Amino acid sequence: MDDVGVARTLLVQPINMAFDHAYVREAIRAHPTRFVGCALANPSAGSAGVEALRALLEGDGFRAARFNPALWPRGHAMDDDIGREMYSLIGELDCVCCFMCFNGLRARRDGDPRTSVEAIRNLLEAYPKTKVLIDHFGFCKGVEDESFGDLLALSAFENVMVKCSAHFRVQTSETSTREQLEALLDAFGANRLLWGSDYPFVTMQDGGYERAFGIIPSQRASVRALATDAAYDTVLGGSFDVLFPK
């Protein structure tokens, strides 16, 4: 972070550590002015999962929670009763719900007819107070991806923001994430987009943290909506500070 000039960042509980948040909690406590924590919601634990999430969001430096649809029990979608209880709680505590739909916005859980984006829309409509951040371009693979239009349509909800992160996960060509960034800027505006690295996974697949930070600067010259310093600075940090004020 120091090497590339990143002052603050969101630390997301990594899936390989499951629901033991001790490592991220320790990092936040060591650097409270630099790190904001994102907990991992555990819907399979039912009511106990709701209370565990409450404890994290109320007292451990966590100000966001990740919804990963793959963690819901078979046949359930993110807008089931437990999902709604968790999502409502996140809003009540003035925190942020981060959707990480690894298989894309149109993926379905076995036995449930709802796609991830349908579940997200249902939650947005039922609980308009909860702030939302869509991770990794919504896992849309380029502007031709059939679900990219679904992502753009979520701009109708003023509380939805998109993280332009993990370019290596969604890239289909050298220009595909630039094309996505342009379309997202037109739909959401700079104040509802923010850069992210997908560290530590980026160190294995995209040249490391420094190169990940350099992607949007390298795209700036060809992205009309980033021409002004204000828009550029907003995507690279200003929108983060609004979403997670100091």
CB 180 within 8 A of CB 143: yes
The structural domains of the chain, with segments of one domain joined by +, span 9-243
pTM, rounded to two decimals: 0.96
pLDDT at position 58, please?
A: 96
pLDDT at position 110, please?
A: 82
Range list of H helices, the chain = 22-30, 47-59, 81-92, 116-126, 148-153, 167-170, 176-188, 202-205, 208-219, 229-233, 239-243
CB 18 within 8 A of CB 32: no
pLDDT at position 206, please?
A: 60
Q: What is the DSSP string of 35-76?
A: EEEEEE--GGGTHHHHHHHHHHHHHSSEEEEEE-GGGSPTT-
pLDDT at position 153, please?
A: 98
> Which residues of the chain carry a pLDDT beneath 70?
206
Q: What is the CATH number of domain 9-243?
A: 3.20.20.140
CB 37 within 8 A of CB 62: yes
